Amino acid sequence: MNRTDITCANRIVIKIGSRVLVQRTGRPDLRRMRTLVNQIAALHRQGKDAGDDEAADIRTRPSNGGRGGAIPADGGL
């Protein structure tokens, strides 16, 4: 996949880990969150279906070996 493939895509799945959203101190990184929101909003304005697919992924994946709950979207790695 290259940059052209991404720019031609109509649906873009975005996965943002919690470590991206917090500062080293553990407090929310509001500046980074604002930047991400602005970038995602720009994709929406371009007509792209851009969002976090993790919620849908958790609902559709099987339970994690009988331990209860769902398998994380990253496979628990």
Tell me if 66 is assigned to some domain: no
Q: What is the residue type of 40?
A: I
Phi/psi at 27 (5° precision):
-80, 150
For residues 53 and 61, the answer to whether their CB atoms sit within 8 Å is no
pLDDT, residue 23, reads: 94
What pLDDT, on a 0 to 100 scale, did the predictor assign at position 10?
A: 84
Q: How many domains does the chain have?
A: 1
* pTM for this model (two decimals): 0.58
Please indicate, yes or no, if residue 72 is contained in any of the structural domains.
no
**Average pLDDT per consecutive 10 residues, the chain (77 residues; last block may be shorter):** 77 87 94 94 88 50 43 44
- Of 10, 13, 8, the closest CA to residue 54 belongs to 13
Residue 10 belongs to domain spanning: 3-60
Structure tokens at 20: 């991206």
Residue 65 lies in a domain: no
